[in-house]
Amino acid sequence: MIQRLKQTAQGRLLVFAIALVGAMAIGFGPSLGGSLSLKGQYALATMFFAAVLWVTGVVPLAVTALSIPVLLTAFGVYNDIDPALAGFADHLIFLFVAGFMLANALQKYDIDRRIALWIMSTMGASPRLLILSIMLATAFLSMWVSNTATTAMMTPIALGVLAQVLGREEVKEQGAEKEAFSNMQIATLLGTAYAASVGGVGTLIGTPPNAVVATQLSAMLDYEIGFAEWLLVGLPIVFITLPIVWYVLTFVFFPPEVDNVQGAREEARRYLREEGDLSPRGKRAAYIFAATASLWVLGGLGTFIQPYLPSDVFVTIFGGEGQTVTGVEGHQGLLYYVMVGLYAIPALVLADTMEWEDLVDIDWGTILLFGGGISLADAFATTGATEWIAKGIFGSLTGAPIVLVVAAVVLLVIFLTEMTSNTATATIVVPVLIGIGSVFAATLGISEVGSAVFLSVSGAIAASFAFALPVATPPNAIVFGSGHLKQEHMMKVGVALNLIMTVILTGLIWVLFQFVWPMFLW
């Protein structure tokens, strides 16, 4: 139904009108009671408008994001439009601008493709190991390049490898009978999509939901999650969940029915030979990327390095309240991860590796979506609407065991993500999860800020683990759209993985909460 509405101008206008009329009804209707202020009611009306358009997708996500400050100002949540637009200039927005531009450098010189082919040619000694090698390559690249771009690159590579394993005439496309599809084909393509989603959890710049929670925590609580700090959360989740996804795909649902994959390894090696040696410019781009990633990690190790540096040097490099080497008081630090990301952009130009035309070709729509999400989160925070919603939805769980709370959050987010994109889900749900920090702080035995961080990060992670429907994540949509997979295949394994991952993520997040997160989150 929604797809039909999206395909016609009349359908789009109808959904837009429903969203706008609904927002007006909420904004100008009877008071919703409780502690919700009038401006909070207007913020809630704006969220309804944005949520309807984000969930239905009748207009691009970024277009909806741009309408948020207009509606907030029109309702009077803000006296003028400047504060409503402030979210589009949030400092973390520029981290993701820099990350996207760095990814462009990797793609321009086929560095990402070379990494993938090398892993496949090295590891793919058996059918299951070949699938695992494709998944590992995809997951690693997805940590640094957007999972959408990674899947778009890896899907043709995977199909080329399948042609060597199965023969070109055996690689089926949509239109064939479901039974005609090879398990090897299904597992490889689904593994590519799922690995891109899981791998994106590994780093702060890996997938939009990570960006959403980082930007909204900064906007609503003035709380920063650093690049190295996210690695302590993201990497364990990737290392544990990716092998589970691979096992379920290749041992439980779609065991490969072929024995010899030597042709596929040779195909990967042939592709790699055709790439030739990396050019001097490509090498310089790789060095700049490696240096940037290293500095991102180093910037999070200040606590361990502080005893070995003079205080003014430490404040200058890592940030703090004391005096710097320049004689001023207080500094954010030269290794603050947003600054490090921005260093890389002129470095790429000065190294003669990228022109402006190369750098500017990034996903500006996602950047605008982040800005709109921050604007809405700011409005919710300043009007008290977030806390009002949070208590209404999750108040009944107050005092419940923490495992039950996490399971409810994970299951809710995974279910919602199946209905809409993971980015839209995170943008809608994360502010609510931040708002329930005060509700569950006593249950968790930590501060309200710590509770908000814990629950919102849990929700953002869960948004990358929806596996059943093409609409859930861009990687799912790309492999389905390739025409070499049927929705029944994705549904068959995806529903099971959703349930399995609800249990796994609940347990894993609880363990991280108990033993890892206290080191840096509160």
In a domain, 467, yes or no: no
CB 7, CB 15: distance < 8 Å: no
**Same-domain pairing of 211 and 174:** yes
Show contacts of 360-366: CB within 8 Å, 24+ apart: 361/104, 362/97, 362/100, 362/101, 362/103, 362/104, 363/100, 363/146, 363/148, 364/62, 365/60, 365/61, 365/62, 366/61, 366/62, 366/96, 366/146, 366/208, 366/423
Q: Between the CA of residue 276 and those of 110, 141, 273, 300, 410, what are the distances in Å? A: 11, 20, 5, 36, 45
DSSP 473: S
Give 218-245 pLDDT, tens digit per residue: 878 888 888 888 888 899 999 999 999 9
Model pLDDT for residues 118-144, shown as the tens digit of each residue: 877 777 678 888 899 889 989 998 888
Residue 426, number of CB atoms within 10 A of its CB: 30
- Over residues 358-363, mean pLDDT: 84
For residues 150 and 247, membership in a common domain is answered with yes
Rounded to 10 deg, the angle between the 208-221 and 364-383 helix axes is 30
362 Rama class: left (phi>0) / alpha (psi -120 to 50) / beta: beta
For residue 520, is it within any domain? no
- Within-domain flag for 495: no
Q: State the greatest distance between any 2 C-alpha atoms of the chain, in Å, as a whole number.
A: 73
CB 473 within 8 A of CB 194: no
Number of H helices, E strands in the chain: 26, 2
pLDDT tens digits, one per residue of 308-357 = 888 989 888 888 888 888 888 888 889 888 898 899 999 999 999 989 88
Mean pLDDT of 287-304: 85
pLDDT for the residue numbered 237: 94
Taking alpha carbons only, the member of 234, 249, 231, 236 closest to residue 134 is 249
Which amino acid makes up residue 519? M
**How far apart are the two ends of the chain, measured CA to CA in Å?**
46
Cβ neighbourhood burial of 134 (10 Å; 0-12, 13-18, 19+):
buried
Domain count, the chain: 3
Report the pLDDT value the prediction gives residue 470, as an integer from 0 to 100: 82
Amino acid at 453: V
Residue that finishes a domain, picked among 42, 58, 84: 84
Residue 391 pLDDT > 60: yes
Residues 170, 411: Cα–Cα separation, whole Å: 38
CA–CA separation, 466 and 197 (whole Å):
9
Final residue belonging to a domain, choices 277, 301, 324: 277
Name the pLDDT band for 189 (thresholds 50, 70, 90): very high
Answer whether residue 193 is part of any domain.
yes
Same domain, 206 and 347: no
DSSP assignment of 165-228 equals HH-GGGS--BTB-GGGS-HHHHHHHHHHHHHHHHHHTTSTTSSHHHHHHHHHHHHHH-----HH
pLDDT on residue 3 = 53
Considering the domain architecture, whether residues 136 and 271 belong to the same structural domain is answered as yes
- Lowest-confidence pick of 9-13, 27-31, 247-251, 281-285: 9-13
Question: Which range of residues forms the domain containing residue 66?
Answer: 1-84
Q: Return the higher-pLDDT residue of 6 and 381.
A: 381
Give the end of a domain, one of 243, 277, 311: 277
- Distance (Å, whole) CA 328 – CA 117: 50
What pTM was computed for the model?
A: 0.80
Give the number of other CB atoms < 10 A from CB of residue 17. Answer: 10
